[in-house]
Structure 1
Amino acid sequence: MHRSIPASRAIMAMGLLFIVGFAGGYYLNPLLSPPTVIWENDSRWRTDSISISGSTTALPIVNACAIAFMNKYSGTSITVSGGGSGRGYSEVIDGVVDIGMASRPPKQKEIDDAKKKGVALWLYPIALDAVCVVVHPSVNQTLKLTLQEVGKIFAGIYTRWSEVKPGLPDEPIYVVVREPGSGTRGTFEEYAIEPYGYTVTDSAHVRPSNPAVRTTIESTPYSIGYVGFGFVTPNMVVVALAEEEGKPYIYPTVESIASFKYPISRYLYLVTSTRPESGSLTDRFIDFILSPEGQEIVEEQGFLKLPKYPPGG
């Protein structure tokens, strides 16, 4: 079957080789090198406050960075909450928060909503991640699936593990998914559901966050779900994925995600409704996450820091 290239994969293929680019209705604004922090002694922003909401995948990174930033620069106030990428986009567009967190590019409806309100979305990649398909150890200690096989499981075409692969248990499959609006769910469906014309089965068990999916998979025999790379634990089995039959099966690792060889690799983003004013707390905080100190926090939280670029890009 011919599969179209998902939009997020197209963005990855472009690479972060430009300062500012307009991509499909929003601005993608990566940096070729870490920002030069020259503002520590500027006290004008030291009593400001900002609010952030969105992706539960990016939440641990941003929350840890916010704590480190506030400890370093006393007087600043940064509040961070989850709710999913959909919430992050909608609250940035509506002016409810200063920064959104997202684990996917904006959907066309979100771009259209922003345009109607005179908002130009700006996306700042802050980390690399992957959507990892995971199963309870009762299924098997090693499991390799194509994206279409994964799609058939989540669409309810396969309902027992014995239908998926010879030798798997003759037990019902317990499917776990994220809530609608989740960026992790959106990315997963973009690769494993939509290319084949499938829809997620109505019998799937919905969970509101990565930690909730993780807990369910760890405690429920014969279950399958998906989580961000930073939420994988030894108490679950990670599935090796192949884009199609005949292609190599690849596990999500630091190397395979950084090279985008793993089929569901992605960026995590911060989102603003305009280019932040130079010198504002929003500007300072984004700079902090992109700085070497911020990128170390990204790694401490179990994610991958952004690729390094040679001098001059």
Structure 2
Amino acid sequence: MRKKVSLVLVIALLLTLIAAGCTQQSTEETEKTEGMKLSGEVKIAGSSTVYPITIAIGEEFSRLHPDVVVSVQSTGTGGGFKNFFIPGHADINDASRPIKQEELDAAKENGVEPIEFLVGYDALSVIVNPENDWVGCLSFEDLKKIWGPDATGNVTKWSDVNPDWPDENMNLYGPTSASGTFDFFTEHVVGESGAHRQDYHGTEEDNTIIMAVARDKYAMGYLGLAYYLENKDRVKAVEIKNPETGACVAPSIESGQSGEYPLARPLFIYVNKEALKKPAVREFVKFYLENLDSGIVEEIGYIPVSEKIKEENLKKFNDALKELGVE
């Protein structure tokens, strides 16, 4: 009788342990899936153009993982690389241009291995005040005449560009040299990287450009598409002449996707490979890449990547995890 009771107790104990193990495994799987215990901080700096995308994705991520702090600073692409990403103060750098070779070299010298992910496309927009009724379309030659280094002190009035335009001072607003937007504009419009007039109002705050142009009939500025689309009732976008077709094309998601708009450009995030060892960073980057076609990018006012690019991003991400041994 005692042997039978002992056997029953042993079986009951084993069943209890098995049940407990299953419950623990189930709990762990649930926590792993839902991120109940995911915590930490994801530090991001860089491009003011990519900033709205990262902020929007960060907000969605925070709803799933409220204990993770996602901090995003708008510093300009170059400023982010130089002051935050390369020194190791940021896990991710938003970028509205590809990383430069000297930045890549400096990062590697500092033990930072950047992984590049293409996250969308922008249609860089030239804006004027809604009361500006004399400028409808500008060619690259016009833009170079206005913004090129030779314009400093020489092209100060609208009439200096075209005698039919007002004999009024032209007040110009744009990004600083720390910005990827500045780099793209000078390289593709002026024709020389970094070549830009000096006598303009430079800022890393795109909303400052919007406000300045919105209140000044004789102002002009340039910035990312999302900021223009968000303020279409306050500023007017100038059409840009396509050098190949001669057609004047307005900036939009559609014209950027089709390739008709000549100032379309790629947008990136650069991730410090070593930072992927941190669960919060790893899960955030994965969430970011998985949601590039969820409507967030387009809703912000940018052009989403293709399914092919999304899959290439995720493969690159998973390959990095394999190399780190943190799959």
Q: How does 1:153-302 map to 2 (within 5 A)?
A: 153-155=146-148, 156=151, 158-165=155-162, 167-195=164-192, 199-232=195-228, 233-234=231-232, 235-244=234-243, 247-274=246-273, 277=276, 280-292=279-291, 295-302=294-301
Name structure 1 gaps, 5 residues minimum.
1-37
- 2:122 matched to which residue of 1? 129
Paired residues in the alignment total 275
Partner Cα separation in structure 1 for residue 211 and residue 161 of structure 2:
24
From the superposition, tell whether residues 312 and 222 of structure 1 become closer, same or farther in structure 2 (CA, over 3 Å).
closer
Name structure 2 gaps, 5 residues minimum.
1-29, 313-327
- Structure 2 counterpart of 1:148, from 141, 153, 167: 141
Question: 1:227: Cα distance to partner?
Answer: 1.1
Partner Cα separation in structure 1 for residue 309 and residue 187 of structure 2:
32
- 1:13 matched to which residue of 2? none
Partner Cα separation in structure 2 for residue 245 and residue 50 of structure 1:
43
Residue 207 of structure 2: SS of its match in structure 1? helix
Question: 1:292: Cα distance to partner?
Answer: 3.9
- 1:112 matched to which residue of 2? 105
- 2:6 matched to which residue of 1? none
Question: When you count helix as a share of all residues, which structure comes out higher?
Answer: 2
**Would the aligned equivalents of 1:137 and 1:236 in 2 still touch at CA under 8 Å?**
yes
Partner Cα separation in structure 1 for residue 51 and residue 90 of structure 2:
15
- Structure 1 counterpart of 2:53, from 37, 40, 61: 61
Higher mean alpha-carbon deviation, 86-95 vs 143-152, is at 86-95
Question: 1:299: Cα distance to partner?
Answer: 2.3
* TM-score relative to the length of structure 1: 0.78
* TM-score relative to the length of structure 2: 0.75
Partner Cα separation in structure 2 for residue 293 and residue 39 of structure 1:
24
**Would the aligned equivalents of 1:127 and 1:304 in 2 still touch at CA under 8 Å?**
yes
From the superposition, tell whether residues 230 and 198 of structure 1 become closer, same or farther in structure 2 (CA, over 3 Å).
closer
Q: Deviations over 1:245-270 (max 9, x none)?
A: 87222211212111332111112211
**Would the aligned equivalents of 2:41 and 2:70 in 1 still touch at CA under 8 Å?**
yes
Partner Cα separation in structure 2 for residue 184 and residue 218 of structure 1:
20
**Would the aligned equivalents of 2:174 and 2:223 in 1 still touch at CA under 8 Å?**
no
Question: 1:244: Cα distance to partner?
Answer: 3.6
Question: 1:170: Cα distance to partner?
Answer: 2.1
Partner Cα separation in structure 2 for residue 221 and residue 42 of structure 1:
52
Q: Deviations over 1:215-253 (max 9, x none)?
A: 111112211110100011222221111254872222112
Question: 1:43: Cα distance to partner?
Answer: 4.6
Structure ID, larger Rg: 2
CA-based RMSD: 2.9
